[in-house]
Amino acid sequence: MMGSGKTTVGKLLAEALEYEFLDSDKLIEDAAGGMTVAQFFKEQDEEKFRNAETEVLVKLSSTGRSVVATGGGIVVRPLNWTYLRQGLTIWLNVPLDALAERVVAAGTHTRPLLGDSQGDAAVVKALEKLKAIYKFRAPSYAKADVAVCFQELVVRLGYEHVRDLSPMVIAFQMLEEINKFYKMKKNGAAAA
Ligand SMILES: Nc1ncnc2c1ncn2[C@@H]1O[C@H](COP(=O)(O)OP(=O)(O)OP(=O)(O)O)[C@@H](O)[C@H]1O
Ligand SMILES: O=C(O)C1=C[C@@H](O)[C@@H](O)[C@H](O)C1
Ligand SMILES: [Mg+2]
């Protein structure tokens, strides 16, 4: 989901793996001559943005040794999964209330699907929008190979709140989940 930390944590994961870090939003912006994602939505429309996103994804899918932060909406088009499956997909499953707090703190103007919420009611407004988006997308996010569930992680590590999970802790957890995934795959292949 938008604001889940794909860009922030993706960079740390890439560093740990000594991989290149790539961000599909950034590549779309570059291809559009430096137009921001927010400007793209405003001057064109979401359909055109999604077309540009698929074009970028096709190129990214043949890139090796890289961590890719995708746009949060990339999961919705079934065609995109053909390309996403060229890599290992990770879902950062962040509770929506924590997401709402984060996106408002970072400024919702950079996230066009959330509108520009400011003031006291901003978190409540952002949460409503995030809930509607998530309801539609949840089955698609669940198709990821690996999920990092922040709520479970908070309990397991004995933290009090999701906001206590630093990007570094999350990146470490991603590495653990990736290892688990490949071990299971290896064991499955050996048993078959
Ligand atoms: N674990 C974390 N703890 C505290 N703040 C975080 C954490 N992860 C991300 N953030 C902050 O939350 C905001 C959103 O993070 P980020 O831009 O990485 O999300 P994103 O998933 O890439 O969003 P988008 O889909 O809009 O590109 C940023 O301001 C970032 O600094
Ligand atoms: O979740 C989404 O649909 C989006 C997430 C961002 O990464 C950007 O791709 C854009 O703001 C749309
Ligand atoms: Mg991002």
Count Cα neighbours of 147 within 13 Å in the Cβ-side half-sphere: 15
Q: Which two tokens stand for residue 184?
A: 């299971």
Residue 175: inside a domain: yes
Enter the ipTM: 0.97
User: Is residue 117 helix, strand or coil?
Assistant: coil
Tell me, using a 6 A CB cutoff, whether residue 165 lines ligand 1.
Answer: yes
Residue 132: inside a domain: yes
Residue 163: inside a domain: yes
Looking at the 3D structure of the chain, how many domains does it have?
1
Look up tokens 């890439």; give the residue: 14
153 CA distance to ligand 2 middle (Å): 25
What is the mean pLDDT, run by run of 10 residues, along the chain of 192 residues?
95 98 97 93 93 98 96 96 97 96 82 73 91 97 97 96 96 97 88 78
| Residue nearest atom 6 of ligand 2, based on CA coordinates | 71
Compute CA 134 distance to the chain's CA centroid, rounded to the nearest angstrom.
12
Tell me, using a 6 A CB cutoff, whether residue 69 lines ligand 1.
Answer: yes
Residue 103: inside a domain: yes
Whole domain around residue 153: which residue ranges? 6-191
49 CA distance to ligand 2 middle (Å): 10
Per-residue pLDDT, 186: 87
pTM equals: 0.94
| Residue nearest atom 11 of ligand 2, based on CA coordinates | 111
CATH of the domain at 187: 3.40.50.300
Residue 1: inside a domain: no
Residue 158: inside a domain: yes
